[in-house]
C-alpha cells in the first residue's frame, strides 16, 4: 500500500477532488426550507400551523420543502387577529414588508401571539 505522503502533487490533487465529490454526493444532505406567503386563503394562523405540522394546511401552499429555516411572509397591510395565534413548535422566520407597512392588529381584542 502506498502512503498518501508519497503520492505526487498531481495524484494528491486528484485524490482530494475525488474525496470532495464523494462527500458532496454522499453527504448528510441539504437543509430544507419552506416559504409561505400570507395571502388569499393562507392566513397567519394557518401558515403557523403549516410550519408546525411540516406540511401544507388548508389554504396554504409552501414554496420549497418544509424543514429548517422555514419562512412566513406577511405582505404590507393589516392582518387582523380574530383569535389567539397558534403556539410555535418549530423554528420559523416571519418577515413583513416593513415596520410602517405591515401591521398585526388585535382589533381591540386581547389575543395571544406566542
Q: Measured at the alpha carbon of residue 61, what is the angle toward residues 48 and 64, in degrees to the nearest 5?
A: 95
Q: How confident is the model at residue 29, as a pLDDT? A: 52
Q: CA-CA distance, 47 to 22, in Å (whole number)?
A: 38
Is the pLDDT assigned to residue 22 strictly greater than 60?
no
Question: Three-state DSSP class for 49?
Answer: helix
In degrees and rounded to multiples of 5, residue 89 shows phi and psi of: -110, -10
Task: List the one residue out of 32, 37, 79 whose CA is nearest residue 62.
Answer: 37
Start-to-end Cα distance in the chain: 61
Question: Three-state DSSP class for 57?
Answer: coil
Note if the pTM is more than 0.85: no
Q: CA-CA distance, 80 to 32, in Å (whole number)?
A: 30
Mean pLDDT of 39-68: 94
Residue-range domain boundaries for the chain: 34-105
Lowest mean pLDDT among 2-6, 39-43, 83-87: 2-6
**At 32, is the pLDDT very low, low, confident or very high (cuts 50, 70, 90)?**
confident
Amino acid at each position: 500500500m502506498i502512503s498518501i505522503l508519497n503520492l505526487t502533487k498531481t495524484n494528491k490533487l486528484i485524490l482530494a477532488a475525488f474525496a470532495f465529490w464523494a462527500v458532496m454526493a454522499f453527504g448528510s444532505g441539504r437543509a430544507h426550507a419552506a416559504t409561505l406567503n400570507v395571502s388569499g386563503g393562507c392566513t397567519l394562523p394557518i401558515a403557523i400551523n403549516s410550519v408546525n405540522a411540516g406540511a401544507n394546511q388548508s389554504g396554504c401552499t409552501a414554496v420549497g420543502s418544509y424543514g429548517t429555516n422555514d419562512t412566513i411572509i406577511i405582505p404590507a397591510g393589516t392582518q387582523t387577529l380574530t383569535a389567539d395565534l397558534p403556539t410555535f413548535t418549530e423554528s420559523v422566520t416571519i418577515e413583513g414588508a416593513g415596520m410602517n407597512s405591515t401591521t398585526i392588529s388585535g382589533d381591540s381584542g386581547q389575543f395571544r401571539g406566542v
